[in-house]
Structure 1
Amino acid sequence: MGHVLRWLWSLIFVIVIYLWMAVLGILFTPYALVSKRGALRACKIYARTVIWLARVMLGLRGEVRGPVPTGEVMIAAKHQSFFDIILIFDAVPHAKFIMKRELLWTPFIGLYAKRLGCIPVDRGKRGKAVARMVRDVAAEFSEPGQLVIYPQGTRVAPGATKPYKVGTAILYQGLGYPCVPAATNVGLFWPRKGILRKPGLGVVEFLDPIVPGVARDEFMERIERDIEARSNALMLEAKGKVDAAD
């Protein structure tokens, strides 16, 4: 019975946060169209509201560990669910995400992503997509911000494996910015698919930065090693509490 109630409460939570997205999207559209600051303001409000609602409605707390990246920097992040996006966006001053091009056609998300300076990519076109991504990112960084890229290219469930893509290294070398790896355990509580959310402590942790100039192979080996090792440690830290909640 408890599992059913938790599922129903999770469903209510999902409905509420998407309705809130629509409300904010409509209210802030005039401001966002005339000022990028308006888009950033709306998205910051949304992120903080989702974090608060997750804690109040679900018992799911969010925590950010490690020095928060600022200035012109690339963040190579483990991606398990929508919640790690929310935690990163709330933490850093101005996140700009590498995103699927299809999302540009999503109501509200597309408009606000463009105004924030997010970079759309065609995931099926590989070489051309990477080359275009580097050009687009270089052009976008006429304004400061923190570029967030997911080296595995998509959400990956806890315990699942997916290769790290070399496009991250190409972008790192092309931009010449420091890269901050980021680990997470949020997929244990907020899954990549499905409705059920679980109580607990979802963590995003910023790791030691990688200075510009590291060779491609060494860079790829390091981000995968650091991100996977720390994500596994965070999931191990949380797993006993998740099992107890079940």
Structure 2
Amino acid sequence: MSHRTSSPVPGPVTFWQYLQNGLFYIHVAIVTIIMGVFGIFWVIFDGRRGANAVATRWIGYMLWAARLHMGVSCEIRGTPPTGDCIVAAKHQSFLDILAIAHAVPRRAFIMKKEIMRVPIMGWYAYKVGCIPIDRARGRDAMKAITKQINNRIAGDGLGQLIIYPEGTRTRPGERKSYKHGVQTIRNATGLPVVPVAVNCGLFWPRKGWGVHPGRAVVEFLPAIDSDLPSDEFMPRLEDEIEGNSERLMAEAGFKP
């Protein structure tokens, strides 16, 4: 299938763009409070399905507001998964979080436990199935996470567990060592892993200010089969994510 070419790398950020950036954050903060409060009743009556419905509408509104205020949008390529799986993605900015989460029907993240304590949205994160991690616990934390994941698979299903193997946001052209948490979870659950490449950092910087107008790309790649030997998995995953992210950035005219 052919695709439109990604928007070219933008130039310097203007004062007007910074102003629109600020208006975006004010706008979505107000809407988050309103949707979060009224959505509580939906969650009470419909559980996780209700929480996912509220999350889908909230994320969709955030993406619409980003187009309205800052002129930035995101094209989805490939086929977003719908069954239980691990989604392992390149992480460059808040935009790729929104785009990936909006593209899958039952999103869940592994996130720092401190984020789960944020009023309103932390509660929703828990209700849609996000899993808190206490990084200070090391291996014990991973054991607890894999136990939770297997319990959910055996229950009403896991959904699409979104993981960022580098563990942090990176600048365009930057690579960080991949952490082995994704392989630990894969080995413990037997779930397929869907790599995701992005070029979002060219338009939405990792710190969230100085957003450029344009069309970023998030591409869902073919799943890595669960039968692939463990010693081959991490090199394959990194090659898929990094190589295709570099391709998307080059398509937009980025030169490291």
Do structure 1's residue 147 and structure 2's residue 161 form an aligned pair?
A: yes
Aligned to 2:96: 84
1:75 is paired with a residue of what secondary structure?
A: strand
Write the deviation string for residues 93-126 of structure 1: whole angstroms up to 9, x where unpaired. Answer: 1111111111111112210011101111112332
Show the 5 A alignment for 1:49-88.
49-88=61-100
In 1, the alpha carbon distance for the partners of 2:169 and 2:120 equals 21
Tell me by how many angstroms 1:159 deviates: 2.3
Q: Which runs of 4+ in 1 moved over 3 A?
A: none
Tell me by how many angstroms 1:13 deviates: 0.8
In structure 2, runs of 5+ residues without a counterpart are 1-11
Write the deviation string for residues 170-196 of structure 1: whole angstroms up to 9, x where unpaired. Answer: 101111111110011111111121422
* Structure 1 length-normalised TM: 0.92
Kept in 2: contact 1:51–1:86 (CA 8 A): yes
Aligned residues: 241
Kept in 1: contact 2:87–2:163 (CA 8 A): yes
Greater percentage in helix: 1
In 2, the alpha carbon distance for the partners of 1:108 and 1:99 equals 16
In 1, the alpha carbon distance for the partners of 2:66 and 2:116 equals 26
1:183 is paired with a residue of what secondary structure?
A: strand
In 2, the alpha carbon distance for the partners of 1:110 and 1:31 equals 16
Q: Which one of 169, 174, 179 corresponds to residue 193 of structure 2?
A: 179
One-letter amino acid of the structure 1 residue matched with residue 73 of structure 2: R
One-letter amino acid of the structure 2 residue matched with residue 90 of structure 1: H
Kept in 2: contact 1:39–1:112 (CA 8 A): yes
2:65 is paired with a residue of what secondary structure?
A: helix
In 2, the alpha carbon distance for the partners of 1:83 and 1:97 equals 15
Name the Cα RMSD after superposition: 1.8
Aligned to 1:168: 182
Tell me by how many angstroms 1:140 deviates: 2.2
In structure 1, runs of 5+ residues without a counterpart are none
1:181 is paired with a residue of what secondary structure?
A: strand
One-letter amino acid of the structure 1 residue matched with residue 233 of structure 2: F
In 2, the alpha carbon distance for the partners of 1:26 and 1:62 equals 28
Do structure 1's residue 26 and structure 2's residue 65 form an aligned pair?
A: no
